[in-house]
Amino acid sequence: MVHLTIVDGVVPEYLAAARKNFDAEYAAEFERNCRALYDQMARIALEPQWARFHDFGAGRVPEFLAELAKKSS
């Protein structure tokens, strides 16, 4: 399921993600520019209906990945 929410201003998660990639000075400039540019943003949240876990460390590689590995070697 997908949830769409319109947020006034800048979505906080967007700025938090940007801060991980920039030094403090550039992150502050980026935030100022974003706040000046965007009146609103959309937050898109995905809620998975199912998930699969592949334990590669235990040697359980899905067949399609094993075939890809064979082709590349």
What pLDDT digit, counting tens, does each position of 2-59 carry?
A: 999 999 999 999 999 999 999 999 999 999 999 999 999 999 999 999 987 777 777 7
pTM for the model stands at: 0.61
- What the block records as the tokens of 15 is 């700025």
Distance of CA 15 to the CA centre of its chain: 12
- Alpha carbon dihedral 59, 67, 70, 65, in 10-degree steps, equals -50
- Per-residue pLDDT at 52: 79
User: Minimal CA–CA distance to 7: which of 48, 33, 45, 57?
Assistant: 45
- At residue 73, does pLDDT exceed 80? no
